[in-house]
């Protein structure tokens, strides 16, 4: 395979044939598992596509994915524990679209995982559907939430009613798909006219990757399960190409003190519990509480600054289905 020029067949396969072969350059990267790989990066938009040599098969997500990628480094984390670990984050993510929900809303979540967000939605709406490939997560969610209907299959294979849903939400899924275009076209087909699409994806302009000095983060950031690396421009463009009118904003998942950790230690924290938390280092005294509040204010100010420059570790697209889909 010629690693100097991107194969045009790849662009067609991933649904980025609105871009040109010579728009991309090969970026050598080291994946999280230590292998050397190539990410093809768009010169203008900065979108990255992992070379197909390193893609995982679709059945990888039925079980093996959770074996390798969990909240605790080096060990599989069961769904019930994931639910507790990500509780505060899931509440924050839910808050990014909850204003669009009411009792009559017909809701679809694509990649609902262990139910941290879907469970919150189910308390508000009457029709709550989820699609989840992972067998263990889907079984756990079915036990925990009898109200929701769960399709234990890929989104591509899920038999969903067309023009049915008022809102479709997908958190950290689009980057895993072979073709974001095919994914978005199906989102268009299942949403009502004017229906809302809410997407969250990792940001290829993540500040730890794009701005910080060498800190080891790049070898953690790129990994075999992510085929696509979106920027604000590339996410907005592909959504528009597929018939959605909206905007992209920055979202900071991992806070200031996680970034301090990376800067000082050049390695990930060993558990998402600590990585997602702002520490309270002082005791419960008037002076100690002042210190703890200072830590909290610092983290919030940092988050505000990072999101202002669209350099959060995640991007959110939120928009509406237009009445006609581009051909």
Which CA distances in Å does 301 have to 7, 119, 131, 313? 44, 30, 36, 16
pLDDT in tens, 221-270: 999 999 999 999 999 999 999 999 999 999 999 999 999 999 999 999 98
pLDDT of residue 62: 77
Whether residue 125 is predicted with pLDDT greater than 70 in this model: the reply is: yes
**Average pLDDT estimate for 140-146:** 94
Cβ atoms of 196 and 167 within 8 Å: the answer is yes
Long-range contact set of residues 252-259: C-beta below 8 Å, sequence gap at least 24: 252/303, 252/306, 252/307, 252/312, 252/313, 252/314, 253/89, 253/312, 253/313, 253/314, 254/313, 255/299, 255/302, 255/303, 256/298, 256/299, 256/302, 256/303, 257/295, 257/299, 259/207, 259/208, 259/212, 259/302
Q: Tokens at residue 262, please?
A: 């990376």
Whether residue 326 is predicted with pLDDT greater than 70 in this model: the reply is: no
pLDDT band at 75 (very low <50, low <70, confident <90, very high): confident
pLDDT of residue 61: 84
pLDDT in tens, 153-201: 999 999 999 999 999 999 999 999 999 999 999 999 999 999 999 999 9
pLDDT in tens, 17-68: 889 999 999 999 999 999 999 999 999 999 999 999 999 987 888 778 877 8
pLDDT of residue 135: 94
Q: Calculate the average pLDDT of the chain.
A: 94
Q: Which residues contact 158 (CB under 8 A, 6 or more apart)?
A: 131, 151
Predicted TM-score (pTM) of this structure: 0.95
Q: d(Cα 252, Cα 304) in Å, to the nearest integer?
A: 9
pLDDT of residue 65: 84
């Amino acid at each position: 395979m010629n690693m100097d020029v991107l194969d045009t067949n790849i662009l067609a396969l991933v649904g980025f044939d609105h871009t040109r072969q010579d728009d991309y350059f090969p970026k050598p990267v080291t994946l999280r598992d230590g292998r050397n790989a190539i990410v093809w990066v768009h010169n203008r938009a900065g979108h990255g596509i992992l070379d197909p040599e390193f893609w995982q098969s679709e059945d990888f997500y039925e079980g093996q994915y959770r074996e390798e990628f969990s909240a605790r480094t080096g060990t599989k984390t069961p769904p019930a524990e994931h639910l507790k670990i990500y509780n505060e984050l899931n509440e924050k993510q839910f808050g990014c679209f909850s204003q669009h929900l009411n009792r009559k809303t017909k809701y679809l979540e694509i990649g609902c995982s262990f139910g941290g967000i879907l469970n919150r939605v189910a308390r508000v709406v009457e029709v709550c559907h989820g699609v989840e490939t992972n067998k263990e997560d889907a079984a756990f969610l079915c036990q925990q939430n009898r109200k929701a209907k769960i399709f234990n299959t890929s989104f591509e294979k899920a038999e969903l009613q067309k023009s049915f849903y008022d809102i479709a939400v997908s958190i950290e899924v689009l980057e895993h798909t072979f073709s974001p275009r095919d994914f978005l076209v199906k989102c268009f087909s299942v949403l009502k006219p004017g229906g809302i699409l809410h997407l969250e994806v990792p940001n290829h302009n993540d500040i730890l990757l794009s701005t910080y000095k060498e800190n080891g983060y790049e070898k953690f950031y790129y990994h075999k399960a992510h085929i696509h690396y979106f920027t604000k421009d590339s996410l907005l463009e592909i959504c528009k190409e597929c018939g959605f009118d909206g905007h992209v904003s920055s979202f900071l998942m991992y806070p200031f003190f996680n970034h301090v950790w990376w800067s000082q230690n050049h390695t990930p924290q060993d558990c998402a519990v600590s990585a997602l938390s702002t520490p309270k280092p002082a005791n419960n005294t008037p002076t100690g509480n002042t210190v703890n509040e200072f830590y909290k204010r610092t983290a919030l100010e940092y988050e505000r600054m990072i999101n202002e420059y669209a350099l959060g570790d995640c991007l959110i697209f939120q928009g509406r289905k237009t009445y006609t889909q581009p051909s």
